[in-house]
A and B are shown apart, each in its own frame.
Chain A
Amino acid sequence: MADAALSPMKGTGLDEAEQGRDMVLVDRVTKEFGRGEQAVTALDAVSVRILENEFFTLLGPSGCGKTTLLRLIAGFELPTRGQILLDGQEIGHLPPYKRPVNTVFQSYALFPHMTVSQNIRFGLEMLRKPDAEIEQTTRAMLSLVRMEALANRRTDQLSGGQQQRVALARALAPRPKVLLLDEPLSALDLKLRKDMQIELKRLQNETGITFVFVTHDQEEALTMSDRVAVMQAGNILQIGAPKEIYNRPAKRFVADFIGDINIIDATLGNVTGAKGQVTLPGGASLTAYLSDSSISQGAVSIAFRPENLRLVAPDDAAASVIGQIENVVYFGSGSNVHVRLENGTTVVVRTSDSIGALDARTGVEIPEEHVQVLVD
């Protein structure tokens, strides 16, 4: 029944050929906290498919519902409506200890009264695995996260990075069908975070377990994920591969949330298929991608990224818009040039070239293949 309901998955970042076996299927799940008039909707009929073997990220600002969705899959909360399938089995109503998924908590939640290896063994003991298997798996996990030397340490004697690795090993030891990670890197400093990003990716490749990763850090999401779901206010706005999310943001919020971007007003003319004729302030016109075929002609917002723009002479034929250099912000590998257009809006151009003086008139080339018409 659910398969029938979910088969046409448009805008999920999945090509037909790419579709593999569903591991997690979240079907129109709504979660409300509180009752009656005070009820707050944390998730509003959210649907997601997460494939076997996938590194899937839920990305969004705090309060967007990403952690709630994770907790629903883990079983710490019951959904108000809708169903959650794990590997074809309905699990939405089961308590956490009956679900073959494991969680890496934001604060790691390592048992302080147990050693590293006792922490790792815990899940296996609860599953009443034979002793020999527990021994073997624990050792394998210790070596997987390179913690053999510290097996008998108490967990409060470990550094943040070490605790993180123990938490991973503990959650992976029972070989869950899905590993849930709730902002596990947020407590680490920048250098360690970068290392752990690579480490996580390696673990996922080596174990072949589906990872569902929650973060508010867009860079982290783009670096590690196979696919990303961008969430806001209890809804999923866009699901897609990192490149797709970055280059073809479907909604204004997604464009704004991920990376630096220019969003300016423009007018949409004729629409042909997935593209439309856009008139820029100043009169120039170009053909831009439409994020949704439902966009109607008239006033629209268009988006393009600073690094795709080029400063040109004001009288250059390639100049899409013309303005005045208002400000130059140097950031090491280049500069952001703020160009003030005649209608008052500012466009940021990222450049590593030498640029004109302040207040100088300049043209900005906006390559049309990088322009996206947004839905609010």
Chain B
Amino acid sequence: MLAPVQDTSNETRLARARRLRDVEERRTRRFLLAPALLVIGIFGLFPLTISMLYSILTPGTYGGVTWKLSGEAYLQFLFERDIFDGSLSLSSTYLQIYGRSIGLALVATIGALILGFPTAYFIASKPREQRNIWLFLITLPFWTNLLIRTYAILLIIRDEGIINLGLMSVGVIETPLNILYTDGAVFIGLIYSYLPFMVLPLYASLEKLDFKLVEAAYDLYANRFQVLRRIIIPMAKPGIVAGCILVFIPGLGAYITPELLGGGKKLMIGNMIALQFGSSRNWPFGSAAALILMVVVMAALLIYVRNAGKQGAHHG
């Protein structure tokens, strides 16, 4: 039908056009990405390597560091050095703080899940027009100042707070319940702070739930609990995992909540780290503690990413 292709100049013209387009695209992309990546790279990522460096140096007398290599910061997690003879003995002080923090964050995560799941389900089962209003109400506290919300909790749970005064005035109790400055207070504060983080991803996966599946399960003789356990919860699993991660991670590194509600006595990792950069003046140890916290968090994130990947493969 056609004469054989003999014209190669057109091929080169196309190739040139394609190459020009590619070069242009690459240049534009580099220009557009550079500021964000540079700013975060220099002032967000690079400082983490500084922390790594600091963690193997010697503390300076007035804060900061002395440029002398030392593994003391990491030793300090497990051992206590005697002030007089410098000998090492096993100490679990810091491990306990890590253990306590992980425990508190875990319990708060479970608490948030128990409260957040029904809440997310409640919103998802509302008519479409109402959902946005409920969602707005649940996210609003998420954007309001964490410090102020924690202060609000402090106001009502302290000895002279509304809860105690109320209970005393109706005669349920005679002396105020001691809630503030206990693990319970920190637990309440953590749930209160991060509940929206649990509800949002749960809602995102429950919203996609087709209630026809629920009807089908009822049709196949499942009762309410079986429907919840066999249909709804499995379908919401990605949301449950995401929600738990989103509550656990900030809960683990929480600073304000234990600071205000734990009263400084009930230390969590966050306060312990900040303390090293403040009155304890042990920057290397603070840096080491921060890095260890980061490793724990990254491990949690990795589990999440792998889980999400598996989920994706499952549905894809």
Indicate if A touches B (C-beta under 8 A): yes
In angstroms, Cα B14 to Cα A78, docked, is 8
Interface string of B1-40 (1 = CB under 8 A from A): 1110111001101101110010000000000000000000
Q: Which residues of B contact A27 (CB under 8 A)?
A: 2
Select A78's contact among B1, B11, B21, beta carbons within 8 Å: B21
| Bound-state Cα–Cα, A20 to B250, Å | 73
Return the contact of A81 from the options B2, B3, B11, B21 (Cβ within 8 A). Answer: B11
Q: How far is the CA of A28 from the CA of B4 in the complex (A)?
A: 10
Tell me, rounded to whole Å, the shortest Cβ–Cβ distance linking B200 to chain A.
29
Query: Contact: B3 with A93, CB < 8 Å?
Result: no
Q: Residue A5 at the B interface, CB < 8 A? A: yes
- Contact across chains for A5 and B14 when beta carbons are under 8 A apart: no
Contact with A47, one of B1, B7, B10, B11 (Cβ below 8 angstroms): B1
A82-B15 Cα distance, complex, nearest whole Å: 11
Determine the chain B residues whose CB is within 8 A of the CB of A28 once the complex forms: 2, 5
Task: Give the CA-CA distance A10 to B2 in the complex, in Å.
Answer: 10
**How far, in Å, is A30 (CB) from chain B's closest CB?**
11
Chain B residue nearest to A9 in the complex (CB): B1
- Convert A1-39 into 0s and 1s, putting 1 for each residue whose CB lies closer than 8 angstroms to a CB of B: 100111010100000000000000001100000000000
B13 touches A90 (CB 8 A): yes
Q: Determine the chain A residues whose CB is within 8 A of the CB of B3 once the complex forms.
A: 4-5
A79 in contact (CB, < 8 A): yes
Using Cβ atoms and an 8 Å threshold, which residues of chain A touch B16? 93
Closest to A47 in B: B2
Question: Which residue of B1, B2, B7, B17 is within 8 Å of A93 (Cβ)?
Answer: B17
Complex CA gap A10/B10 in Å reads 25
Interface residue count for A (Cβ, 8 Å)? 20
| Interface range on chain B (Cβ under 8 Å from partner) | 10 to 19
> Which chain A residue lies CB-closest to B18?
A78
Chain A residues, Cβ within 8 Å of B2: 5-6, 27-28, 47
Please tell me if the beta carbons of B7 and A81 are within 8 angstroms of each other in the complex.
no
Picked from A10, A81, A82, the residue with its CB within 8 Å of the CB of B1 is: A10
B5 near A93: Cβ-Cβ < 8 Å: no
List residues 236-291 of chain B with CB under 8 A from any CB of chain A: none
A5: which B residues are within 8 A, CB to CB? 2-3
Give the Cβ gap from A132 to chain B, nearest Cβ, in Å. Answer: 36
Q: How far is the CA of A83 from the CA of B2 in the complex (A)?
A: 13
CA distance A83 to B15 in the complex (A): 12
Bound Cα distance from A79 to B10, whole angstroms: 11
CA of A92 to CA of B10, assembled, Å: 9
- Chain B residues with CB under 8 Å of A47's CB are 1-2
A81–B15 Cα distance when bound, in Å, is 9
A8 CB contacts on chain B under 8 angstroms: 1
Which residue of chain A is the closest to B7 with respect to CB atoms? Answer: A1
Given contacts A5-B2, A6-B2, A47-B2, contact A83 B10 (CB under 8 A): yes
Q: Given A1-B7, A78-B21, verify A92-B14 contact (CB < 8 Å).
A: yes
* Cα-based distance from A90 to B9 in the complex (angstroms): 12
Q: Which residues of A sit under 8 angstroms from B5, Cβ to Cβ? A: 28
**CA of A284 to CA of B125, assembled, Å:** 69
Please give, as numbers and ranges, the residues of chain B lying within 8 Å of A1 by CB-CB distance: 6-7
A88 vs chain B, min Cβ distance (A): 14
Closest to B15 in A: A93
Smallest beta-carbon distance A249→chain B, Å: 19
Q: How far is the CA of A1 from the CA of B16 in the complex (A)?
A: 21
Q: Tell me which residues across on chain B come within 8 A of A93, comparing CB atoms.
A: 13-14, 16-17
A78 touching B13, Cβ below 8 Å:
no
State which of A4, A6, A10, A78 has its C-beta within 8 Å of the C-beta of B17.
A78
CB contacts under 8 Å to A, within B113-163, are: none
Q: Residues 284-313 of chain A: 1 if any B CB is under 8 Å from the residue's CB, otherwise 0?
A: 000000000000000000000000000000
Q: How far is the CB of B235 from chain A (nearest CB, A)?
A: 31
**Given the complex, which residues of B lie within 8 Å of A95, measured CB to CB?**
21
Chain A residue at minimal CB-CB distance from B17: A93
Q: Which residues from A are CB-within-8-Å of B14?
A: 78-81, 83, 92-93
Nearest chain-B residue to A1 (Cβ)?
Answer: B7
State the Cβ distance, B12 to closest chain A Cβ, in Å: 10
Q: How far is the CB of A84 from chain B (nearest CB, A)?
A: 10
If the complex has contacts A5-B2, A5-B3, A6-B2, are A90 and B17 also in contact, measured as CB distance less than 8 A? no
- Give CA–CA (A28, B14) in the complex, Å: 14
CA distance A6 to B6 in the complex (A): 13
A95 to B14, CA, bound (A): 11
Q: Which of chain B's residues have a CB closer than 8 A to the CB of A10?
A: 1
- Please, what's the 1-or-0 string for B103-115, where 1 marks a CB less than 8 Å from any CB in chain A? 0000000000000
Bound CA–CA A92/B15 (angstroms): 11
12 pairs, A vs B, C-beta closer than 8 Å: A1-B6, A4-B3, A10-B1, A28-B2, A47-B1, A78-B17, A78-B21, A80-B14, A90-B13, A92-B10, A93-B13, A93-B16
Given contacts A8-B1, A80-B14, 18 further A-B contacts (CB under 8 A): A1-B6, A1-B7, A4-B3, A5-B2, A5-B3, A10-B1, A28-B2, A47-B2, A78-B14, A78-B17, A78-B18, A79-B14, A83-B10, A90-B10, A90-B13, A92-B10, A93-B16, A95-B21
Q: Which residues of A contact B (CB under 8 A)?
A: 1, 4-6, 8, 10, 27-28, 47, 78-83, 90, 92-95
Residue ranges of B at the interface with A (Cβ–Cβ < 8 Å): 1-3, 5-7, 10-11, 13-14, 16-18, 21
